[in-house]
């Protein structure tokens, strides 16, 4: 359709308009991804100067990590005192994770300790921690 509401003779089915809308959505998604990466960098920089306040979603991800560690029989507070840098690394990976809903579901059903290697970005680090 043209600006006047008449069909475009070169695009009678609106394919070009749909593609333009799709491209705009992809561009917005990339911009959000870039903003998310910038936010992660900011959080990591702020972590060096002290804890930054976390959003509710970020708090939920960090809570999931604590619940998973407890499910793996790791004393979260003792580990945080013993290896604060390693704990911050685990938390940073959780903050960047895209599998929060699966993690929450696995924790809720009690299967996270068995299934985390299939979805958790911290799987290798958690395996080392369990072996130690």
Q: Is residue 45 over pLDDT 90?
A: no
Cα–Cα distances (Å) from 121 to 7, 15, 40, 79, 94, in that order, read 50, 39, 15, 19, 7
Local structure of residue 45 (DSSP, 8 states): H
Determine how many CB atoms are found less than 10 A away from the CB of residue 4.
Answer: 5
User: Cα(89)–Cα(97) distance, rounded to whole angstroms?
Assistant: 12
- Token pair 């924790």 in the structure block, residue: 107
Question: Where residue 41 falls among pLDDT bands split at 50, 70, 90?
Answer: low
Average pLDDT over residues 12-29: 76
Cα–Cα distance, 7 to 2 (Å, whole number):
6
Reported pTM: 0.57
**CA–CA separation, 10 and 1 (whole Å):** 10
Instruction: Count Cβ atoms below 10 Å from residue 129 Cβ, excluding itself.
Output: 16
- CB count within 10 Å of CB 116 equals 22
Q: For 78-105, what is the mean pLDDT?
A: 90
Cβ atoms 122, 99 nearer than 8 A: no
CA torsion through residues 29, 89, 61, 101, sign: positive
The answer on pLDDT for 36 being more than 60 is yes
């Amino acid at each position: 359709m043209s600006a006047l509401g008449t069909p475009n003779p070169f695009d009678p089915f609106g394919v070009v308009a749909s593609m333009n809308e799709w491209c705009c959505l992809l561009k917005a998604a990339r911009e959000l991804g870039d903003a998310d990466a910038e936010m992660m960098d900011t959080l990591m920089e702020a972590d060096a100067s002290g804890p930054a306040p976390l959003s509710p979603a970020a708090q939920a991800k960090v809570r999931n990590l604590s619940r998973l560690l407890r499910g793996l029989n790791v004393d979260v507070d003792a580990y945080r005192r013993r290896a604060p840098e390693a704990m911050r690394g685990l938390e940073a990976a959780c903050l960047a994770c895209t599998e929060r809903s699966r993690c929450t579901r696995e924790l809720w059903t009690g299967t996270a300790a068995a299934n985390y290697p299939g979805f958790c970005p911290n799987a290798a680090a958690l395996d080392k921690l369990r072996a130690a």
